[in-house]
Amino acid sequence: MSGDVRGSGSSGGISRVGVVGGGQMGAGIAEVCARAGLDTVVCEADATAARAARDRVAQSLDRAVRRGKLEQSAARDALDRMVFTGSLDDLADRQLVVEAVVENAEAKAEIFAALDKIVEDPAAVLATNTSSIPVMRLGMATGRADRVIGLHFFNPVPVLPLVEVVTSLHTSAGTVAAVEEFAGAALGKTVIHSRDRAGFVVNALLIPYLLAAVRMAESGFATAEDIDTGMELGCAHPMGPLRLADLIGLDTVASIAESLYDEFREPLYAPPPLLQRMVQAGLLGRKAGRGFHVYDQG
């Protein structure tokens, strides 16, 4: 593969990483891998999307440099360690592939079935960054369910220190150990563990809170601004629930809520009509310039 630069890796284990999806989450995952010295390949749908993913990572690295969080030379080295491609075939030699595409079970299962055929090393780990889709379902799309695991990062990935490791009934102890070493030793993240239930730990607690804020705004009980200000100043939250929903993406919040409701059938997980209408209208939050708040896209 042209332009492939090998990194030594910090963990002594996984050193060649692939990321499928170069959006906000995928780009962030790829960035932290490259900054940790790992040889990183990012796969997008086509060459145009791959170039956009590279620009996304480059802009994030530039921000880190401007804020004094990263040396210019380290940012340049990180970008040099990365290859951006429009072909899944370029992931054939990876030791770990992290899927980070749209929160859709069918789309993710198709990618896992394809990776199962493409990734050559039978000991390679196939991980999903899903927020809510059962890891078991994705593992069963492959012939190596014991090597499939949930590896859930949080946005923005270069800033937030947490990773959820989610095991299915088939995930092997060796897979868990390899991923713990990768996330902890190589990336410097804090690892928590969850069983394979929709929402895992964080979103099972967070999503009902966000949905309660949506229902409060929907009912006219309070404005979005007052709801967010109330939680920021009254509870010392760094960001109010509706601003946080906008940051996550209202389509993603709705998808997670639907997965949680499908799993548990509890009313607190059901996405409110207002959230569904906003998604239908394309008012997806920060990435669209408008959600519960309006954002400068410049």
CA dihedral (251, 257, 258, 263) positive or negative: positive
Identify the active-site residue in 194, 203, 255, 259: 203
Cα–Cα dist 268/279, whole Å: 19
**Segment holding 79, helix H or strand E:** helix 72-80
CA distance 254 to 284: 10
Catalytic annotation present for 180: no
Clarify whether 152 is annotated catalytic. yes
Length of the chain: 298
Q: One of 11, 15, 129, 131 is an active-site residue; which one?
A: 131
155 labelled catalytic: no
Say how many CA atoms lie within 13 Å of 57 toward its Cβ: 31
Peptide bond preceding 161: is omega within 30 degrees of 0, i.e. cis? no
DSSP string, 226-265: HHHHHHHHHS--SS-HHHHHHHH-HHHHHHHHHHHHHHH-
Rg of the Cα atoms in the chain? 19
Catalytic hit among 164, 194, 255, 259: 164
Clarify whether 203 is annotated catalytic. Answer: yes
3-state secondary structure of 16: strand
**Residue by residue, what is the 3-state secondary structure of 84-145?**
EECCHHHHCCCCEEEECCCCCHHHHHHHHHHHHHHCCCCCCEEEECCCCCCHHHHHCCCCCH
Secondary structure (3-state) at 83? strand
Q: Show Cβ contacts of residue 72 under 8 Å, excluding neighbours closer than 6 positions.
A: 65
The one catalytic residue among 31, 152, 168, 170:
152
Q: Which residues are catalytic?
A: 131, 152, 164, 203
